[in-house]
Chain A
Amino acid sequence: MEGSSTIARKTWELENNILTVNTPDSASDNIFYYDDTSQSKFQQEKPWETDPHYFKRVKISALALLKMVVHARSGGTIEIMGLMQGKTDGDAIIVMDAFALPVEGTETRVNAQADAYEYMVEYSQTNKLAGRLENVVGWYHSHPGYGCWLSGIDVSTQRLNQQHQEPFLAVVIDPTRTVSAGKVEIGAFRTYSEGYKPPDEPVSEYQTIPLNKIEDFGGHCKQYYSLDITYFKSSLDSHFLDLLWNKYWVNIFSSSPLLGNGDYVAGQISDLAEKLEQAENHLAHSRFGGIVPLHRKKEDESQVLTKITRDSSKITVEQVHGLMSQVIKDVLFNSVRQSNKSPTDSLDSEPLITS
């Protein structure tokens, strides 16, 4: 039982060039050790002041990820925020733990209220007593349903933080897309200081932004850069997580990602329809334009259309995955009757769409 599933996983990993991190043993648990002296030395050196692109990677612990995602999901459609604790390690920021802040999230808030500061100070103090020695090293908040990026307010907040509380990191989580897509939607960012022109960046991974947020996204997307995220866990953690999987497999059958996210999907589709309409209007206008070089116009249109196609493919793929699960469950649990009526003619709903 365990054997063939591991074989299947290994084959898949091989085919997809997954770099497996070595299973953590107690030696790699060293990451959990907090060395005060080297941390304060690093703080004094401040290598990030000379190089705005200094920090390139983020390592998030299993615990921090779990806490952040659960907190984000519990907020529903309200944005939540919290702080992360950790340390630095060369050009990587390590996030060991996260905790929630008692603030109501609204996008118009720049700073957390005084309440939250008090909370933060008290929490950090009690944590230090209880053996969590790390400092606050960043903040996280959620964008339920509209992707992982920094809005204008977020950019100014992060800029402020990076002036006074270095080293500091901003993390954004999208719990709705996490559940809908079946994988964790998370992004880590650091802002550039005002006026700094970044060298041409490689195009970041494309993500769908709903129409009403697209201006905010576009207006600020050049003012920050995203960092690579990797995860780590202790040997004990991985032991437990493996055992947990033994209890978890039931959930694959008992829950359906389609049911919980009906609103979100409907929103996505209507957003897509709006975008299409906008593109069409744009096209109609340009027909009377004329003077503007035709080639550029065509490029814009085709770009827009390509984006729309990609979005629609993404939505469809998720839906089809959900449908596949439903069909499999139906076959497993319902087709006991030997009747000629087969509820699933064929699993031909294979995504014919390639990205």
Chain B
Amino acid sequence: MAPSSSSGLTFKLHPLVIVNISDHYTRVKTQLNPPASICSSGNASNNGEAVFQQNPRVYGCVIGVQRGRTVEIFNSFELLCEPLNHTLDRSFLEKKQELYKKVFPDFYILGWYSTGSDAEESDMHIHKALMDINESPVYVLLNPAINHAQKDLPVTIYESELHVIDGIPQLIFAHTSYTIETVEAERISVDHVAHLKPSDGGSAATQLAAHLTGTHSAIKMLNSRIRVLYQYLAAMQEGDIPCENSLLRQVSSLLRRLPAMESERFQDNFLMEYNDKLLITYLAMITNCSSTMNEMVDKFNTAYDRNTRRGGRTAFM
């Protein structure tokens, strides 16, 4: 098992990368194992080896930005790899890099990705090959096996470290932790596709329900996590679990951070924003009322108007 990295870099991964890799893998897998309805006689010759291609490995490059100690991985693209001698198609990589540079001039190649369940020895060759583009590339490994019991993302990020083993300096993979980073637009579209919300607005009631349901589930998650912590602490108090001081310190610092904002200025700003929204609501209600009033007056006029030139509209009784 690869040891934990100690380079001190923080990694942030965008969900687009994950969806990209998953899509690449699904594509390759489906293309290699065509559905039964399509006759297989006209297919490529490598269908004969379809047996071992059940879980093809796909390879690609990840790009993003590195600012100081933070490495943010934004996007990715596919690469061609020679499966026999584990080398990447270099010219292809360069061409693709050029194309992506034109559209996203800020992004650099940060590393590469592949699918599989564990890092292998052969991956080191590819890793070393990339080292001339980026001195310390990252290796993102995605496990495509669907395991519903697993609650964690099956994505691991490895870094390479130089260790002296048996007197020989060798590069080995060391896995690092990462966080998922997102922008608001990304979150909304992921949410949209994940939960297949109704695409049109629906009535205001539906929108309200959708909004509150989202908030509700977030609060539920928060609650469950806090509960876990609470039970852990209770167990520690009972003596079931040995006291772990570092954890206690962390919990205590977390608690001390509440209330999150207490200054006068915050209260003022908050109330001002609150009042602004109430004002908007008020204005909207006035508009609504005047519009309804207008309609009513129109209808009244139509029903009771005796002076129209069109002649002969008697008042309703």
Contact = CB atoms under 8 A, between A and B. Distances in A.
Interface of A: 1, 4-5, 8-9, 12, 15-16, 18, 20-21, 27, 29-30, 32-35, 37, 61-63, 65-67, 69-70, 72-73, 97, 99-102, 119, 122-123, 126-127, 129-133, 175, 178-179, 181-184, 186, 205, 229-231, 233-253, 255, 257-258, 260, 269, 276, 293-295, 298, 301-302, 305-306, 308-309, 312-313, 315-317, 319-328, 330, 332-337, 343, 349-355
Contacts of B182: 248, 251
Contact of A132 (B78, B198, B215): B78
Interface in B21-76: 22-31, 34-35, 37-38, 42, 58
A40 to B, nearest CB: 13
B127 to A, nearest CB: 20
A97 B77 CA distance: 12
Contacts, number: 314
A336 B258 CA distance: 7
Nearest to B257: A333
A131 B146 contact: no
26 contacts: A1-B220, A20-B196, A29-B30, A62-B23, A70-B183, A72-B185, A97-B23, A122-B95, A130-B78, A179-B188, A181-B201, A183-B210, A234-B26, A235-B146, A236-B144, A241-B19, A243-B150, A246-B221, A248-B182, A248-B190, A249-B222, A308-B287, A316-B281, A319-B280, A326-B273, A328-B219
A205 B200 contact: yes
Given A175-B185, A241-B190, A319-B277, A354 B99 contact: no
The 6 closest A-B pairs by CB, nearest first: A1-B224, A73-B185, A130-B78, A241-B194, A252-B218, A5-B217
A313 B204 contact: yes
Contacts of B20: 63
- B95, B144, B196 — which one has the most chain A CB atoms within 10 A of its CB? B196
A213 to B, nearest CB: 20
Given A37-B42, A252-B214, A257-B184, A245 B277 contact: no
Given A181-B201, A248-B187, A333-B258, 10 more contacts: A12-B210, A184-B189, A234-B22, A237-B23, A240-B153, A302-B295, A305-B290, A323-B273, A333-B259, A352-B281
Given A133-B31, A231-B193, A352 B151 contact: no
Dominant secondary structure at the B interface:
helix
B189 A66 contact: yes
Contacts of A258: 273
- B29, B201, B219 — which one has the most chain A CB atoms within 10 A of its CB? B201
Contact of B284 (A129, A230, A313): A313
Interface string B274-311: 10011011011101101100110010011000001010
Contact of A249 (B15, B23, B217): B217
B23 A323 contact: no
Contacts of B31: 32-34, 131, 133
Contacts of B283: 312, 316
A10 to B, nearest CB: 11
B262 interface: yes
B152 interface: yes
